[in-house]
Amino acid sequence: MTSLPMILASSTPRGNLTKTSSSTSQFPNPILNSPKQLRNLSNKTHLSLTISQLILTSPVLAADSFDSISDPPTGKIDLESVLVTIDNFFNKYPFFVAGCTFMYLVVYPAVIFYLRKYKPISAVNAFRKLKTEPDSQLLDIRDDKTLALLASPNLKFLGKSSVQVPFCESDEEGFLKRVKGSFSNPEDTVVCVLDNFDGNSSKVAELLIENGFKEAYYIRGGARGKNGWLAIQEELLPPPVHMSTAKNVKSSNNNEASIVGTEN
């Protein structure tokens, strides 16, 4: 009995068999017919898996790789990351940050304040300085109208006199010339500057220091301000150095005139 394969083989034309074999040879299966390529493919797959495992197990490489993936370089500063870094630094070194802040906000301004040669001074301390320091002088920078209403402190009791030079901000050179002409040795003179209120006294004190005076103080409250010379003179200053108002001057003149008329 003839077998079925033999029948199929005999029934199949030779030309068709040749075409089938040739078509098979023209399109070979690289996986089935190329063992070398199969080995190369398996090796590459194994290598890629090994590299991936290495990156994931290394925290540094993993962080760098994820950063490079999530945050591609754009050439711009990441403000949020900068703020986070600063916040972490403050949390890690709180005492250092507090010390630097204290130095900048308290110590540095205090040093600058005490090293400069022009400073504020109270009316009481200005009187004490005028009394105890021979080279100290009082400079009254109020205008003539104000002086007519409220005279300068009378310093004859201390063997001195108030120097009156009205300050004009538009004529600083002329003001400086008049002030220097009023003192024989500006480089050895300590000046206490008096204004109607605080006003321009601090500017004048700084201006005098910049132009050769030894020291300059601006009286806080001036003549009429809070805790100024007029406000504290009744309680803290002796009567000879009191400032006289126009009302007091008129009353004193009237008293003198009545006394003279009685005598006549």
Q: What are 42's two structure tokens?
A: 């398996």
Q: What is the pLDDT at residue 61? A: 41
- What are the residues facing 215 on neighbouring strands? 190
Paired strand residues for 192: 138, 217
Specify the pLDDT at position 150.
Answer: 93
Question: Cα dihedral sign for 109, 111, 114, 116?
Answer: negative
**What is the rounded distance in angstroms from the CA atom of residue 23 to the CA atom of residue 145?**
123
Query: How confident is the model at residue 230, as a pLDDT?
Result: 93
The pLDDT, as a whole number, for residue 224 is 93
pLDDT tens digits, one per residue of 91-122: 888 888 788 887 777 766 666 555 555 789 99
Q: List, for the chain, all residue ranges whose pLDDT scores fall below the cut of 70.
A: 1-76, 107-117, 246-264
Query: What integer pLDDT is reported at residue 73 of this predicted model?
Result: 55
* Alpha-carbon gap, residue 27 to 203, rounded angstroms: 100
pLDDT of residue 248: 52
CA distance readout (Å), 68 to 51, 61, 73: 17, 10, 8
What pLDDT is attached to residue 203? 93
pLDDT of the residue at 256: 39
Write down the pLDDT at residue 184: 87
Rounded Cα gap, residues 191 and 245, in angstroms:
24
Pair of tokens at residue 164: 């009156």
| pTM for the whole structure | 0.54
Query: Helices in 2-93 by DSSP H: which ranges?
Result: 4-11, 14-26, 30-33, 35-57, 59-70, 79-92
